[in-house]
Amino acid sequence: MGYHHLALACTDIHAIHNFYEGILGFELVKVEVGPVPEGGWAKHFFYRMEDDSKFIAFWEMHDVPGAEQVETNLSRAAGVPDQINHIAFDVTSAADLERRKRQWLQAGLEVLEIDHNWCTSIYTKDPNDNLVEFCLTTGTFTEQDRQTAIQALSAEQPAFSPPPAAIAFLKPEA
């Protein structure tokens, strides 16, 4: 089972559209417009990621109480570092991960690439200032991995994981 959609507030739907459709290639397929029970009204935009069961969605609010002070960066809103709350999309091959990295760099975005020893990820920021990730699982999970994970649930001072195998900070192409 996966999730159907992730819905986030935004303050600049045109920048969001340029990023999620123009750069990432997710297709805007639906918008719902209606009143908000607390007051005002909103547009709810749905971007198809793979098929008609997986979307990322954004709210553009109009005259909604509190909308003028909305913090769109999920981590900042929660008072935690940027990497804590982030949006991670999957890729199915190293070639697809490389293609996504090239897309971001060619679009003028900075990219952080990390080999986490069991997955490889690339990260950038979206127009909401949220960290966005594409991730390729490169390892398999053993029974020992599961036991370590179960033990970590209640461990007061668990052992640290091995550091990433590689980290690269990539600047956009000129």
Specify whether 37 is located in the same domain as 90. Answer: no
* Confidence check: pLDDT of 2 > 90: no
Instruction: Give the model's confidence band at 165: pLDDT under 50 very low, under 70 low, under 90 confident, else very high.
Output: very high
Query: Which string of DSSP letters, residue by residue, matches 19-66?
Result: IIIIIT-PEEEEEEEEE-TTSSEEEEEEEESSSTT-EEEEEEEES-TT
Total structural domains in the chain?
2
pLDDT of residue 1: 76
Instruction: Give the model's confidence band at 75: pLDDT under 50 very low, under 70 low, under 90 confident, else very high.
Output: very high
Specify whether 85 is located in the same domain as 54. Answer: no
Specify whether 163 is located in the same domain as 84. Answer: yes
**Comparing C-alpha atoms, which of 168, 86, 73 is closest to residue 131?**
86
Domain boundary among 50, 69, 88: 69
Domain for residue 74, yes or no?
Answer: no
Specify whether 86 is located in the same domain as 149. Answer: yes
CATH code of the domain covering residue 40: 3.10.180.10
Range of the domain at 41: 5-69
* Confidence check: pLDDT of 146 > 90: yes
pLDDT tens column, 79-120: 999 999 999 999 999 999 999 999 999 999 999 999 999 999
Specify whether 93 is located in the same domain as 30. Answer: no
Domain for residue 19, yes or no?
Answer: yes
Specify whether 127 is located in the same domain as 100. Answer: yes
| Under 8 Å between Cβ of 27 and 47 | yes
